[in-house]
């Protein structure tokens, strides 16, 4: 018994010593003298200890007036990226000139103290944003679905919709609807500019005329765009309520051949799920910078375990190479490999595009959304550009 106890203590001490050598401490200190004493400050970053980019998951402690702090332990050589918020992306810390900062980056090699001074927050400045919606949009407010929060819907109509009363149109359903047309409603003051892109491509006869439906998100976004009860309720709302409503009130081509869905990040995940689970309704899906397999999200395994006939859908996937997009690439690669093993072929029913020097934001999704539109709805002239 004594020998066993001695061995156990020795093993414990060895383990502690190894752990102490392999982990280092990082202390984040935020100084902000322009906040009331009852305000909270958060850190959001690319590690579970940093909240996995949830803006209100990791709260710093106010150690004195105008100063917040928290200490973390990470494995040595861990590469961190993070931002500072007050609990939402609408209240993130800004640069001194009012611009949105790039991520703070740190490779953990030794005990480190990071001090950040914040003088401006996103909701403390009046951003100069003018309406830039191109074309005609119609709103349907407070639409309800079982098991999910009500939300607004915005519908973009092609340039000649009211001049050609007999014509019917394909439909693209997009998530995060407040971010795609109007910079005034977009979370970061920058929209996808898909209205400008579609209008230009239609007028140049590079794509067919289409209708675009933007589905607003809610505070439950992370649940609505995931594989869980809320996510399935959200998909059921689109399939059972929203699409029938759109087909009834607009001149659509309702068949699956003419119905697509698209989104980015977690909305890229739910776009993939929507077409994969409802391929009888959707024949096309676009996933920009998608969270296909990262942390607690994983739809790669679902595709891997899928049996039966190959899904009759066209899949567009792209990704950038900086910040969060770099972390998403492993899951993207795994999904591409699984799709190819199921018979999907690049250039036929699978299209992957790598956007170099691109970050995880509306600005960069805007610069490549034209590829989605041409891949799904392109004329022969348009498809030659891909």
pLDDT tens-digit readout, 50-91:
988 788 889 999 998 889 999 999 999 888 989 999 988 778
Over 70: is that where the pLDDT of 7 sits? no
The neighbour count for residue 146, using CB atoms within 10 Å, is: 9
pTM > 0.75: yes or no: no
For the residues of 312-369, what is the DSSP string, one character each? --EEEEEE-SSTHHHHHHHHHHHHHHHHHHTT--BTTTEEEEE-TT--SSHHHHHTTH
Domains and CATH numbers, the chain: 22-124 (2.60.40.10), 136-383 (3.40.50.1820)
Across residues 26-37, what is the average pLDDT?
85
214 alpha carbon, distance to own chain's centre: 15
Alpha carbons 197 and 368: distance in angstroms, whole number: 10
Q: Is 243 helix (H, G, I), strand (E, B) or coil?
A: helix
Comparing 10-14, 156-160, 252-256, which segment has the lowest mean pLDDT?
10-14
Percentage helix, strand, coil for the chain under 3-state DSSP, each rounded to 5: 35, 30, 40
Residue 302 has pLDDT above 60, yes or no: yes
Q: Where residue 1 falls among pLDDT bands split at 50, 70, 90? A: very low
Compare 150 and 21 and report the one with higher pLDDT: 150
Beta bridge partners of 283: none
Percent of the chain with pLDDT over 70: 92
**pLDDT value at residue 124:** 64
**Entry field: residues in the chain:** 386
- Condensed to tens digits (0 to 9), the pLDDT of residues 13-30 reads 444 444 445 889 999 999
Give the model's pLDDT for residue 249. 97
Q: Do residues 134 and 48 lie in contact, with contact meaning Cβ atoms separated by under 8 Å?
A: no
Residue 121 has pLDDT above 90, yes or no: no
Please give the biggest Cα pair distance in the chain.
92
Mean pLDDT score across all residues of the chain: 89
């Amino acid at each position: 018994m004594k020998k066993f106890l001695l061995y156990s203590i020795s093993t414990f001490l060895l383990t502690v010593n190894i752990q102490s050598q392999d982990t280092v401490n990082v202390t984040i200190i935020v100084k902000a003298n322009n906040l009331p004493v009852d305000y909270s400050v958060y850190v959001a970053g690319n590690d579970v200890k940093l909240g996995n980019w949830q803006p209100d998951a990791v709260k710093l402690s106010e150690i004195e007036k105008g100063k917040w702090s928290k200490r973390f332990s990470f494995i040595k050589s861990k590469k961190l990226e993070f931002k500072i918020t007050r609990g939402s992306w609408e209240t993130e810390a800004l640069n001194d000139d009012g611009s949105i900062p790039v991520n703070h980056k740190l490779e953990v090699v030794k005990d480190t103290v990071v001090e950040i001074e914040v003088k401006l927050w996103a909701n403390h400045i009046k951003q100069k944003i003018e309406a830039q919606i191109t074309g005609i949009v119609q709103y349907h407010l407070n639409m309800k679905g079982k098991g999910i929060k009500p939300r607004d819907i915005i519908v973009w109509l092609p340039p000649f919709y009211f001049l050609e009363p007999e014509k019917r149109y394909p439909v693209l359903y997009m998530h995060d609807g407040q971010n795609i047309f109007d910079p005034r409603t977009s979370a970061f003051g920058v929209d996808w500019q898909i209205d400008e892109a579609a209008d230009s491509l239609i007028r140049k006869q590079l794509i067919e005329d289409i209708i675009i439906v933007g589905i607003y998100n809610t505070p439950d976004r992370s649940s609505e765009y995931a594989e869980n009860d809320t996510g399935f309720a959200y998909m059921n709302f689109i399939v059972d309520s929203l699409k029938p409503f759109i087909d009834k009130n607009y001149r659509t081509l309702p068949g699956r051949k003419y119905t697509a869905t698209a989104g980015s990040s977690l909305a890229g995940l739910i776009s993939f799920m929507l077409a994969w689970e409802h391929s009888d309704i959707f024949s096309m899906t676009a996933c920009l910078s998608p969270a296909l397999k990262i942390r607690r999200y994983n739809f790669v395994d679902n595709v891997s375990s899928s049996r039966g006939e190959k899904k009759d859908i066209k899949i567009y996937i792209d990704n950038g190479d900086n910040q969060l997009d770099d972390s998403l690439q492993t899951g993207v690669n795994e999904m591409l490999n699984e799709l190819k093993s199921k018979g999907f072929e690049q250039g036929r029913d699978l299209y992957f595009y790598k956007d170099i020097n691109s970050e995880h934001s509306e600005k960069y999704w805007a610069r490549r959304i034209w590829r989605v539109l041409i891949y799904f709805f392109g004329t022969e002239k348009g498809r030659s550009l891909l």
